[in-house]
Structure 1
Amino acid sequence: MSAQPPLLLALDLTGTFVFGLNGALTAVRATRLDVVGVVTLGMMTALGGGVIRDVLIGSVPPATFQDWRYFALAFGGGIIAFALSRRLDRLEMPITVLDAVGLSVFAVIGASKASEYGLGVGPAVLLGVITAVGGGTIRDLMIGQIPTVLRSELYAIPALVAAVITVSALGLDVYGLPAALAAAASCFVIRMLGVHFGLNAPRPPGSADTGREGQPR
């Protein structure tokens, strides 16, 4: 696996911290967990998708356990969410924006890493999406609710778009920092449009329109 460009690495680490923060904040809002439970769910949100990806492609031990920064940032995000949960409500939109950055970068990095390990187009795209949304899905299942990614706004679709662009660029041998940033930007824009306009993926005909759901992750 080639080293990430410094900018992508910085965004990756930022995304890890924000996913830990947002994941723990979601746990605080939805449950009566103590500090151990809140921080654990925050870390699962931040690290779960990458661990699943690495295990599936045979990259063991997962990157999370080889670079202490990921673990530390996920833990730090969880602790901050627990300690300052009431004040963080005022920063909901900034956190959502940073969460979209994390979603975008995780989708790109996940798809590119899967491709570099020799997976085909379909599996690489799938693992890009799993990297981006897997942690939040684990968290939601742990607190006993339908995963937000399956019911609220546009979340998996932007990650899918970013993963497809990434794998396509790799297949055309034009992948580099500009292509990676373009793929991440496409995910970010689609995600934020979903947040702003309350957009959702199509639902079954006749299903009730429940309006905007809570913010994912």
Structure 2
Amino acid sequence: MTTSTALLLADLAGVAVFAASGASAAVAKRLDLFGVVFVGFVAALGGGIVRDLVIDEVPPLAFADWRYATTAAVTAGAIFWLHPQFARLRTTVLVLDAAGLGLFTVAGTLKALDAQVPPVGACLIGMITAIGGGLCRDLLTGEIPVVLRREIYAVAALAGSIVVVLLDGLGYAGPIPLVAAVLLVFGLRLVALRRRWSAPVAALRPPPRTGGITGPPD
């Protein structure tokens, strides 16, 4: 198996995982078959579509290569019919989701760097590639996006993007350093889930009590 084939298979595996995640959320909201497939498609490919539009690569890969759209649609359709069995695999899905997060982060950052995007922009594009689909999924199903809540998700993707940019700047953009960046995102996400790490949230204080409404002074 060539390196390009291995990367393609890894990319399609990530698409399938995120499509399954989106389809599961749609099933839980009692959407019909079209709705389930649509949400699965958006969850799997939304981040990549945004990335390609930002770097002016048109048509986006999700539309240019039939294998991506087909993988997302077939996976989402399968979840529509097999969701009772799939629901028992929650732990497995979380692990695969973490792996997909790492793969999409590294792939998105590299693609941005190849398009001559400056380092800071490449980090942001890498993060958006990884989290964009999940953000769209939650918005379509009426949920507060996971990436905006306390879970360490977007932070893990951003950390991976920064590592990729640093490695590229130092000339260490070979397969081994990039695999290490994928493993960093993967490991950080799993450890955060295991230890229930979360980003800080603002502390809300109750409004001060007053002795009652008083009239204007005489």
TM-score normalised by structure 1 residue count: 0.90
Unaligned runs of 5+ in 2: 206-218
Distance in 2, matches of 1:50 and 1:104, equals 14
The alpha-carbon deviation at position 198 of structure 1 amounts to 1.8
C-alpha separation in 2, matches of 1:180 and 1:60: 26
Deviation of 1:152 (Å) = 4.2
Matching residue's letter, 1:137 = L
Which protein is bigger by CA-based radius of gyration? Answer: 2
5+ residue gaps, structure 1, are: 208-217
Spell out the pairing of 1:133-152 with structure 2 (5 A cutoff). Answer: 133-152=131-150
Quick one: distance in 2 between partners of 1:157 and 1:6? 30
**Number of matched residues?**
204
Aligned partner letter, 1:28: V
Q: Secondary structure at the match of 1:84?
A: helix
- 1:85-124 matches, within 5 Å, as 85-124=83-122
* Residue 191 of structure 1, CA deviation: 0.3
Structure 1 position 206, deviation (Å):
4.3
Task: State the distance in 2 between where 1:85 and 1:205 align.
Answer: 38
* Code of the aligned partner of 2:100: G
Q: Give the C-alpha shift of residue 8 in structure 1.
A: 3.0
CA distance in 1, matches of 2:150, 2:9: 28
**Superposition RMSD on alpha carbons, in Å?**
1.5
In structure 2, the residue matched to 1:131 is 129
Contact 2:25 / 2:141 at 8 angstroms: preserved in 1?
no
Alignment of 1:19-30 (within 5 A): 19-29=18-28
- State the alpha-carbon separation in 1 of the partners of residues 3 and 170 from structure 2: 19
Assess if the C-alpha contact under 8 Å between 2:48 and 2:108 holds in 1: yes
Aligned-partner SS, 2:53: helix
Tell me which amino acid in the other structure corresponds to 1:93: T
Measured at CA, do residues 4 and 171 of structure 1 come closer, stay the same or move farther in structure 2, by a change above 3 Å?
farther
The equivalent residue for 2:6 is: 7
Q: Supply the distance in 2 between the matched residues of 1:157 and 1:7 (Cα, whole angstroms).
A: 27
The AA in structure 2 aligned to 1:19 is: F
Shift of 1:9: 2.6
Q: Moved runs in structure 1, 4+ residues, more than 4 A?
A: none
Matching residue's letter, 1:16: V
Question: Matched residues in 1 for 2:204 and 2:117: separation?
Answer: 39
Distance 1:4 1:66, change over 3 A: farther
**Counterpart among 181, 184, 187 of residue 186 in structure 1:** 184
The answer to whether the 8 Å contact 2:23/2:80 transfers is yes
- In structure 1, C-alpha distance between the alignment counterparts of 2:82 and 2:196, rounded to whole Å: 27
**Closer, same or farther: CA 107–174 of 1 in aligned 2, 3 Å:** same
C-alpha displacement of 1:132: 0.3
Aligned to 1:80: 78
- Partner of 1:27, secondary structure, is helix
Retained in 2: the 8 A contact 1:104–1:188?
Answer: yes
Q: Distance in 2 between matches of 1:137 and 1:108?
A: 18
Q: Percent identity?
A: 41
